[in-house]
């Protein structure tokens, strides 16, 4: 069924504008009857942040911003779904066009700017499917015109606690002016103090509500020192490394499109984001688990993220170029790698290359 979906949908997607193609994909997913897959091989199971993930491959934030299709995504074989970014009030985002495909580079540039339906609509959708289980996290952000951005994050944690498996505090989107400044030490310390206090408050009634911090791959190593220091001191539950990059590697072939403003994702982000993951891993020293995101488009890329320090991975752009069958392919390649290494569990491989990676030349 997934193979058929990919064969029918992908030629059509090439004709449509990237944003229309995405909207169509989400609608088609909502309508396509997908039978549940057999359970994942136990070798793929991961325990992190107090949650049991059936497999380590998640769909990254941005694909299902409004929680329209978390269950179809879980039925496709994702081990977890991250809805959002959601802001308290609905937002239209930036003017179109604001999403660009760099086909020759297998990359995407977006400057969507947190377009989303707002907390009440998304909450209604998540509440209606809450009994179905599965790991569905909520990625939270601040409204563009918010007077107190920290209050937006706190509010969203309070609102979504009953229906969210975990929260991602997104301070790393390049498309909301000033948002990335929340990664600066004083601002981050203040934000995380408030967010973690909200987490501890809601968990008394709603149960476990782990909070993960999602960072930009564009931080300098000195800035990363500070970010990890604050995250550890404030006892977040994990970090996601990372969001899209505002850099443009010189290797990009679609130079004209590369000039579009926004965050770059997909294959050209792989080396930078994996290096930043390894740099984060050596600084975190096991204090909490990491999620690796950026350019995952094969089992080998997912395995490289794990060896750089991720216990879970997420992807988005890879789906655009490789189709929905990519999830099953990555899982099967991870199992093969596990058997070849005679490892019992993926956790045996987490971070095994991190130190060596940090000694390599800095990626372009
Ligand atoms: C079209 C698009 C929209 C995105 N929207 C969000 C978002 O709302 N919140 C967020 O934290 N990340 C967002 N991201 C970033 C992804 O979650 C991910 O961190 C990034 O794309 C790198 O992964 P990839 O190379 O597998 O796409 C978006 C990415 C794309 C391509």
Model confidence pLDDT, tens digit, residues 151-166: 999 999 999 999 999 9
Q: What are phi and psi of 167, to 5 degrees?
A: -120, 145
Instruction: State yes or no: pLDDT of 6 exceeds 80.
Output: no
Q: Hunting for tokens 């992908």 — which residue is that?
A: 10
The pLDDT tens digits of the residues spanning 48-63 come to 999 999 999 999 999 9
For the chain, the straight-line distance linking the first and the last C-alpha, in angstroms and rounded, comes to: 39
pLDDT number for residue 323? 87
Instruction: Indicate whether residue 227 lines ligand 1 (CB < 6 A).
Output: no
Give the closest residue (by CA) to ligand 1 atom 6. 62
Give the closest residue (by CA) to ligand 1 atom 24. 294
273 assigned to active site: no
Ligand 1 atom nearest 107 alpha carbon: 25
Rounded distance between C-alpha atoms, residue 119 and residue 101, angstroms: 29
**Residue closest to 218 by CA, chosen among 63, 363, 62:** 363
Q: What are phi and psi of 59, to 5 degrees?
A: -90, 130
**Residue closest to 158 by CA, chosen among 206, 212, 87, 91:** 206
| Peptide bond before residue 97 is cis, with ω within 30 degrees of 0 | yes
Q: How confident is the model at residue 4 (pLDDT cuts 50, 70, 90)?
A: low
Q: How confident is the model at residue 212 (pLDDT cuts 50, 70, 90)?
A: very high
The pLDDT tens digits of the residues spanning 296-336 come to 999 999 999 999 999 999 999 999 899 889 999 999 999 99
Q: How many CB atoms lie within 10 A of CB 239?
A: 27
pLDDT number for residue 275? 98
pLDDT number for residue 239? 98
Helix (H) or strand (E) holding 290: strand 290-293
Name residues whose C-beta falls within 8 Å of residue 125's C-beta, 6 or more positions apart in sequence.
66, 67, 68
Name residues whose C-beta falls within 8 Å of residue 133's C-beta, 6 or more positions apart in sequence.
none
Instruction: Indicate whether residue 112 lines ligand 1 (CB < 6 A).
Output: yes
Rounded distance between C-alpha atoms, residue 156 and residue 200, angstroms: 14
Instruction: State yes or no: pLDDT of 1 exceeds 70.
Output: no
- CA of 2 from ligand 1 middle (Å) equals 23
- CA of 178 from ligand 1 middle (Å) equals 18
pLDDT number for residue 50? 96
- CA of 108 from ligand 1 middle (Å) equals 9
Give the closest residue (by CA) to ligand 1 atom 5. 62
Tokens of 284: 């975190």
Instruction: State yes or no: pLDDT of 5 exceeds 80.
Output: no
| Peptide bond before residue 38 is cis, with ω within 30 degrees of 0 | no
The answer to whether 270 and 245 have CB atoms below 8 angstroms apart is: no
Q: How confident is the model at residue 178 (pLDDT cuts 50, 70, 90)?
A: confident
Please state, for a pLDDT cut of 70, what percent of the chain lies above it: 97
- CA of 340 from ligand 1 middle (Å) equals 32
Please state, for a pLDDT cut of 90, what percent of the chain lies above it: 80
Instruction: Indicate whether residue 243 lines ligand 1 (CB < 6 A).
Output: yes
Rounded distance between C-alpha atoms, residue 179 and residue 318, angstroms: 26
Give the closest residue (by CA) to ligand 1 atom 12. 61
Instruction: State yes or no: pLDDT of 204 exceeds 90.
Output: no
DSSP 37: P
Mutate to test the pocket of ligand 1, among 265, 276, 301, 302 (most ligand atoms within 8 A of CB): 265
Q: What are phi and psi of 315, to 5 degrees?
A: -150, 155
Catalytic residue selected from 173, 209, 273, 317 = 173
């Amino acid at each position: 069924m997934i193979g058929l979906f990919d064969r029918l949908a992908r030629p059509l997607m090439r004709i449509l504008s990237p944003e229309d193609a995405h909207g169509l994909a989400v609608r088609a997913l909502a309508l396509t009857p997908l039978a549940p897959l057999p359970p994942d091989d136990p070798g793929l199971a991961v325990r992190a942040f107090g949650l049991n993930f059936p497999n380590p491959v998640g769909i990254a934030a941005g694909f299902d911003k409004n929680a329209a299709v978390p269950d179809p995504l879980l039925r496709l074989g994702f081990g977890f779904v991250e809805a959002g970014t959601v802001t308290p009030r609905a937002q239209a985002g930036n003017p179109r066009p604001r999403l660009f495909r760099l086909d020759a580079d297998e990359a995407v540039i977006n400057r969507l700017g947190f377009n989303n339906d707002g907390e009440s609509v998304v909450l209604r959708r998540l509440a209606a499917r809450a009994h179905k289980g599965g790991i569905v996290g909520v990625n939270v952000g601040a409204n563009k015109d918010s007077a107190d951005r920290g209050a937006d994050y706190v509010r969203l944690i309070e609102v979504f606690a009953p229906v969210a498996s975990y929260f991602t505090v997104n301070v790393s989107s390049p498309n909301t002016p000033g948002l990335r400044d929340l990664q600066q030490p004083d601002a981050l310390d203040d934000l995380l103090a408030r967010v973690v206090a909200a987490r501890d408050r809601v968990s008394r009634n709603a149960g476990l509500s782990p909070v993960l911090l999602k960072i930009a791959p564009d931080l300098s190593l000195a800035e990363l020192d500070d970010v990890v220091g604050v995250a550890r001191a404030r006892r977040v539950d994990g970090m996601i490394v990372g969001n899209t990059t505002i850099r443009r590697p010189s290797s990009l072939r679609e130079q004209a499109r590369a000039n579009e403003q926004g965050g770059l994702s997909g294959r050209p982000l792989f080396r930078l984001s994996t290096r930043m993951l390894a740099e984060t891993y050596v600084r975190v020293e096991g204090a909490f688990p990491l999620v690796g995101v950026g350019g995952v488009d094969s089992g080998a890329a997912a395995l490289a993220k794990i060896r750089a320090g991720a216990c879970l991975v997420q992807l988005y752009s890879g789906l655009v170029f490789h189709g929905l069958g990519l999830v099953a392919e990555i899982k099967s390649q991870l199992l093969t790698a596990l058997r070849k290494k005679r490892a019992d569990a993926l956790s045996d491989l987490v971070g095994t290359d991190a130190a060596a990676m940090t000694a390599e030349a800095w990626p372009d």
